A and B are shown apart, each in its own frame.
Chain A
């Protein structure tokens, strides 16, 4: 039976369908038009979200991926569109988010001639992708797409860029699709070494003061249940990194809070008191460790990771347990003896109390007329029954979101951790809502950050995406202002902002909203906001000079926690 030939663009669509793609975020243009033409016939199989800027497409795909665990898919044209996706690709790389980005490219015969809208996309993206590949003929499409999804998803996930020349989109080919299951040069998940499993178990079994650090690797490995089983069996208190947030419920008695620069007091102090530090799917980022020379020197370090390049990168491990977290955690747990560390666990309490008295109490329930960020976040969390997805932008709003939002289920925190990309929030929230349509998605963003991708309100308008946008308006680039106050003699160099009427802007896009500046108005507006599933923009005028505390200054010892 002879197969009838199809175009490269149709092949791309069929390959997407074969990979189970349901949603595509994109923006058309000259060098990708044949693909868009093919997409026209597939609109009943795949939903295409037309964003307003290509950066928005990538961040939306990231938000979608973070809440669903699926690979985000982006299609854009060549040249400026390809360079517009760079920020999101770099963000997905450092935060291990699986994504396949297809960029149009000029016809192969024009490559390297400085043709109209030609950029060296593979050259630019090599350092910020897991894999970046130029497809020059239609025949390569099924192979390259299958590989792209396999690479993006397997092992430690990350972004893949396919640079698709226009001729490849048009040429005819015989379509035959086989998903990729093996690449000779790529071992996504290292095999488990039983010796390291028993070494880790032995260390934990003899620990008097064990402490677990929970990273995103737990979520990416779907190992939330295994994690809890391990922590509960051996009674190990745990703290999370920014991206590990929501891997375990906030109110679990062994959940002691966040690590790092704006983490919880006790978690940072105890890092340098524990006897066995169990790092799970985290990479000892400098925002978590602060000064390495004095970090957890007293402890034996166990490092669970899927990526061997993370072992001994920043902190030397005494035992490295390589493999998929779901399997490695379970394997170690099997060899653990039930244990109790009551005194050690309750030793976190006195720090929690100090932090509560000196920082949290006033932050969530201010005694002054000004609204505070922590107050807004905890009220919104409360109003959603702690069941919502929390998306943040970057800055004070992000750290406050991480500190004060509460979680009862996994994959509920979407934030730009490694790259700290302002402008991430709004498009990521759109992607998150599309990925989890039956959940409430709350975005907390600053007055600065929302203006970096505010055009995505147009995407919300067009697709009617019920995102709850909370603009924490302090009329400052707040986090930078905080540093200026603390470390630059209060010299507020270019950090105050004259802002538009955000509610009016939202209104122009057909989005309901309110601007509030008293505690009472805030309560009413939150109630109104969560009363239905429509998009909503809540602008909250908050105190202009709020501070995120506690804070460990950059480069200080992790125990150098400033409460004021």
Chain B
């Protein structure tokens, strides 16, 4: 079946062991997690997982139901790329000398809307935010001058939908708690 990159967004209570509970649902199905970002969400006490994975719709639907079934998970959703605004950040470490030798690196930084984060006598760090392929492109371009280190973050994403599903869920649950 056709595989698509899905972005799974999970909101959970802030309890230890949640990451394990979520990740074993993927590993049990031999689904490789492409990227994973875990952090506090904008709502106090609520944790957010952003996971990307290649699979088909039938499978991702089952995965998300199983995730949501975990007691401490508040809500889990899945999206295709056209339903979210998403971004990754990458850092590239190059010799400062190679920047000084020509203006090619500076040109690349301008072209890719990247920026210099740090410049020391020996090395410099370039930062870029964007989508995976752009970030990789810049890497290959810079690597002609020798990239000493290169790191890429997991994806973070914001949905395009007009209603904020989690806030709605939480306020509904608050009502139900009152009786």
Chain A residues within 8 Å of B, Cβ to Cβ: 122-123, 126-127, 130-132, 151, 182-186, 307-309, 312-313
Q: Are B74 and A126 in contact (CB under 8 A)?
A: no
Contact A309 B13 (CB under 8 A): no
Q: Does A185 contact B62, Cβ atoms closer than 8 Å?
A: no
Pull 15 A–B residue pairs with CB atoms less than 8 Å apart, ordered by A.
Answer: A126-B17, A126-B20, A126-B24, A127-B28, A130-B71, A131-B71, A182-B177, A184-B170, A184-B173, A185-B12, A185-B71, A185-B73, A307-B69, A309-B62, A312-B62
Q: Which secondary structure dominates where chain A touches chain B?
A: mixed
Q: Are B69 and A309 in contact (CB under 8 A)?
A: yes
Q: Which of B60-75 contact A (CB under 8 A)?
A: 61-62, 65-66, 68-69, 71-74
Cβ contact within 8 Å between A312 and B61? yes
Measured between C-beta atoms, what is the minimum distance from A151 to chain B in Å? 6
What residues on A are CB-neighbors of B170 within 8 Å?
184
Known contacts A122-B17, A126-B17; is-contact A184 B74 (Cβ 8 Å): yes
How many Å from the CB of A94 to the closest CB on chain B? Answer: 14
Would you call A309 and B65 a contact (CB within 8 A)? yes
A185-B74 in contact given A126-B24, A309-B62, A309-B65 (Cβ < 8 Å): yes
Closest chain B residue to A151, Cβ basis: B71
Interface of B is mostly: helix
Minimum-distance CB pairs A-B, first 9:
A309-B65, A185-B74, A131-B71, A184-B173, A186-B71, A309-B69, A182-B177, A126-B21, A127-B24
Cα separation A312 to B62 with both chains bound (whole Å):
8
Assess whether B176 is interfacial by the CB under 8 Å rule.
Answer: yes
Q: Which residue of B lies closest to A314 (CB)?
A: B62
Smallest distance from the beta carbon of A60 to chain B beta carbons, Å? 25
Q: Bound state CA distance, A452 and B21, in angstroms?
A: 31
Tell me if B21 and A183 are in contact (CB < 8 A).
no
**In whole angstroms, how far apart are the Cα atoms of A185 and B74 in the complex?**
4
CB contacts (< 8 Å) of A123 on chain B: these are 17, 20
Which chain B residues have a beta carbon within 8 Å of chain A's beta carbons?
12-13, 17, 20-21, 24, 28, 58, 61-62, 65-66, 68-69, 71-74, 170, 173-174, 176-177
Whether B62 pairs with A313 at a CB distance below 8 angstroms is yes
* In the complex, chain A residues whose CB is within 8 Å of the CB of B66: 309
State A313–B17 Cα separation when bound (angstroms).
Answer: 26
CA A123 – CA B17 in complex, angstroms? 8
Q: Which of B24, B71, B174 has the most CB of A within 10 A?
A: B71
B47 shortest CB reach to chain A, Å: 11
The distance in angstroms between the C-alpha atoms of A312 and B58, with both chains bound, is 9
Q: B17 and A184: CB pair below 8 A? A: no
Q: How far is the CB of B178 from chain A (nearest CB, A)?
A: 10
- Chain B residues positioned under 8 Å from A307 (CB to CB): 69
- Complex-state Cα separation, A185 to B173, whole angstroms: 8
| A residues near B20, Cβ cutoff 8 Å | 123, 126
| Minimum Cβ distance to chain B for residue A486 (Å) | 31
* CB proximity of B168 to chain A, nearest CB, Å: 14
User: Chain A residue with minimal CB distance to B72?
Assistant: A185
The smallest C-beta distance from A502 to any residue of chain B, in angstroms, reads: 40
Task: List residues of chain A with CB within 8 A of the CB of B177.
Answer: 182, 184
Does B176 lie within 8 Å of A182, measured CB to CB? yes
Given known A-B contacts A122-B17, A182-B177, A184-B170, A308 and B72 have beta carbons under 8 A apart: no
Residues of A within 8 A of B72 (CB): 131, 185
- Which of B13, B21, B24, B28 touches A185 (beta carbons < 8 Å)? B13
Could you tell me the distance between the alpha carbons of A343 and B12 in the complex, rounded to whole angstroms? 53
- A122-B17, A126-B20, A151-B71 are known; give 6 further A-B pairs, CB within 8 A: A126-B24, A130-B71, A184-B74, A184-B173, A185-B13, A185-B72
A184 CA / B13 CA spacing, docked (Å): 9
Q: What's the minimum C-beta distance from A96 to chain B, rounded to whole angstroms?
A: 12
Docked pose: A313 CA to B72 CA in angstroms: 22
Closest A residue to B25 by CB, please name it: A127
Q: Which residues of B contact A126 (CB under 8 A)?
A: 17, 20-21, 24
CB distance from B60 to the nearest CB of A (A): 12
**Nearest chain A CB to B44 CB, angstrom units:** 13
A151 neighbours in B (Cβ, 8 Å)? 71
CA gap between A541 and B68 in the complex, in Å: 50
